[in-house]
């Protein structure tokens, strides 16, 4: 199968039922998306497919429809995405396990809603679990990133 991940084309020899998460991690060595629950409930495996946030543990590679972007492809060390910059500025991460999924969900939200309210942020981000409870910092970082995205 052929797929595009982080703007690179890959050929993989896997079963069509294999979850995208395992293709990314095991076949391609892309480890940003994390295994958390395996049932699309925690958000640790969130990536973008065709520009939209999806749970990679629940997408079979044979059903993939669109290019994949992982946390590794969202920004570069020289040119971080606004959400990545805000995460650092607001010191969001504690253990860090859920952060790639959180950042990918936040980037998706801001691509759709450039000036989200607290309620919109809470609704969009509540699907991503954070065992460390950094939700107030997550909201602050999303708000800061929104300002950068809007150029305000």
- Which string of DSSP letters, residue by residue, matches 83-141? HHHHHHHTT--SS-TTHHHHHHHHHHHHHH-SS--HHHHHHHHTTS--TT--HHHHHHH
* pLDDT > 70 fraction of the chain, expressed in percent and rounded: 99
User: Residue 129's CB: how many other CB atoms inside 10 A?
Assistant: 18
The torsion angle over the Cα atoms of residues 75, 80, 81 and 86, rounded to 10 degrees, is: 140
The tokens describing 52, both together, are 């939209």
Say if residue 112's pLDDT is above 70: yes
Q: What is the pLDDT of residue 127?
A: 87
Tens digit of pLDDT for each residue in 11-48?
999 999 999 999 999 999 999 999 999 999 999 999 99
Mean pLDDT score across all residues of the chain = 95
Domain 2-72, CATH 3.30.70.60 — does that match?
no
pTM of the model: 0.95
> Tokens 């809007």 — which residue?
150
Residue 152 has pLDDT above 80, yes or no: no
What is the CATH class of 75-150? mainly alpha
Q: Look at residue 150 in the predicted model and tell me its pLDDT.
A: 86
pLDDT at 126: 87
Residue 102 has pLDDT above 70, yes or no: yes
Listed in order, the ranges of the chain carrying CATH 3.10.20.30 are: 2-72
Is the pLDDT confidence value at 145 over 80?
yes
Q: Residues of CATH 1.10.150.120 domain(s) within the chain?
A: 75-150
Is residue 33 exposed (0-12), middle (13-18) or buried (19+ Cβ within 10 Å)? buried
């Amino acid at each position: 199968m052929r797929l595009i991940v982080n703007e690179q084309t890959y050929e993989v020899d896997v079963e069509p039922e294999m979850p995208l998460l395992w293709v990314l991690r095991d076949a391609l060595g892309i480890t940003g998306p994390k295994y958390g629950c395996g049932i699309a409930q925690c958000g640790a495996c969130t990536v973008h497919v065709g520009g939209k946030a999806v749970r990679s543990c629940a997408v079979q590679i044979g059903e993939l429809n669109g290019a994949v972007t992982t946390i590794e492809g969202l920004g570069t060390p020289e040119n971080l995405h606004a959400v990545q910059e805000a995460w650092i500025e607001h010191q969001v991460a504690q253990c860090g396990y859920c952060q790639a999924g959180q950042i990918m969900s936040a980037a998706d939200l801001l691509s759709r809603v450039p000036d989200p309210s607290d309620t919109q942020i809470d609704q969009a981000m509540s699907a991503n679990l954070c065992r460390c409870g950094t939700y107030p910092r997550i909201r602050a970082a999303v708000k800061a990133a929104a300002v950068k995205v809007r150029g305000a």
